[in-house]
């Protein structure tokens, strides 16, 4: 009887550990950064959030230089120094 309680307790503990690991794995993609334009302390990024594999055109706004368009794929794209890049946004078309 004591052995049975130990086994049941061990299985319950393992289930709790696996559940918490699943929660951590689910939270990881959002930890990659927000969708769209964002800055860290020194760098500017654009994160295209999609599940269909599309590539989109964004307009990158640059300080003291000409703005430009860029085609970005799913995920995070480094745009440059946060001191130079003022923003970026989706222009409404794919590439």
Examine the domain organization and report whether 43 and 75 are in the same domain: yes
The pLDDT, as a whole number, for residue 16 is 39
Please give the tally of structural domains in the chain.
2
Q: Are 14 and 50 part of one and the same domain?
A: no
Structure confidence by residue, pLDDT tens digits, 1-59? 454 444 345 444 444 333 343 433 333 445 567 899 999 989 999 999 998 989 999 99
Q: Any bridge partners for residue 38, and if so which?
A: 45
pTM: 0.65
| Whether 20 and 37 share a structural domain | no
Name, in order, each residue with C-beta under 8 angstroms of 95's C-beta and a sequence gap of 6 or more.
Answer: 55, 56, 57, 71
Domain that holds residue 2: 1-32
* One domain for residues 38 and 17: no
Mean pLDDT along residues 80-93: 96
Q: Do residues 19 and 58 make contact, with C-beta atoms less than 8 angstroms apart?
A: no
Q: Is 5 strand, coil or helix?
A: helix
51 and 18 fall within a common domain: no
3-state secondary structure of 43: strand
Find the mean pLDDT for residues 73-86. 96
> Does residue 83 share a domain with residue 63?
yes
């Amino acid at each position: 009887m004591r052995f049975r309680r130990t086994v049941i307790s061990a299985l319950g503990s393992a289930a709790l550990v696996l559940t918490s690991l699943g929660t951590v794995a689910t939270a990881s993609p959002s930890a990659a950064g927000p969708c769209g334009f964002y800055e860290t302390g020194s760098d500017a990024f654009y994160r295209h959030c999609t599940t269909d594999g599309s590539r989109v055109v964004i307009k990158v706004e640059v300080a003291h230089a000409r703005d430009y368009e860029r085609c970005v794929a799913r995920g995070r794209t480094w745009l440059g120094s946060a001191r130079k890049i003022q923003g970026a946004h989706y222009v409404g078309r794919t590439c």
